[in-house]
Amino acid sequence: MNKIALQSPILGGDAVYSARVMLGITPPSANAAKRMNQNATTAINSVGSIYPNPAKDIAYLDYFLTEGQTAYLYFYNTMGTPVKSFTLNSQSNRFEFSTKDFKTGLYFYRIVLSNNQLLESNKLIILK
């Protein structure tokens, strides 16, 4: 259980938080979590879902990329037309973006590494 408590919540999900509570462990800093994940033998690049969903004015994406890695966040409308794109880098673990330019509706998004490997594909609802 101690190994679960020390994982990144992005990789381990809710089980990480539960293990930390049961063991009374204070979560490690973001930099310590990066070092632990870089030493792990499992996949390093990971992303969570965009939240809040539905979003109104601002949305967030928590992610982890290996050092020097770049990923791209692409948004498409329901017709598959590209709407907006953002670049994600390994220097941050959270990306905050404005949804004020988006019209109310359903959008699809994809997160792709610079080598075209798909990390995540999902939906985001915008409500105004």
Written as one string, the DSSP assignment of 31-51 is HHHHHHHHH-SS---EE---B
Tens of pLDDT, residue by residue over 52-74, are 999 999 999 999 888 888 999 99
Q: Which domain holds residue 114?
A: 46-126
Which of residues 20 and 105 earns the better pLDDT score?
Answer: 105
- Please give the pLDDT value at position 35: 45
Which of residues 39 and 14 earns the better pLDDT score?
Answer: 14
- pTM, 2 dp: 0.65
**Amino acid identity, position 32:** A
Output the domain CATH number for residue 61.
2.60.40.1930
- Please give the pLDDT value at position 67: 86
- Please give the pLDDT value at position 48: 82
Q: Structural domain tally of the chain?
A: 2
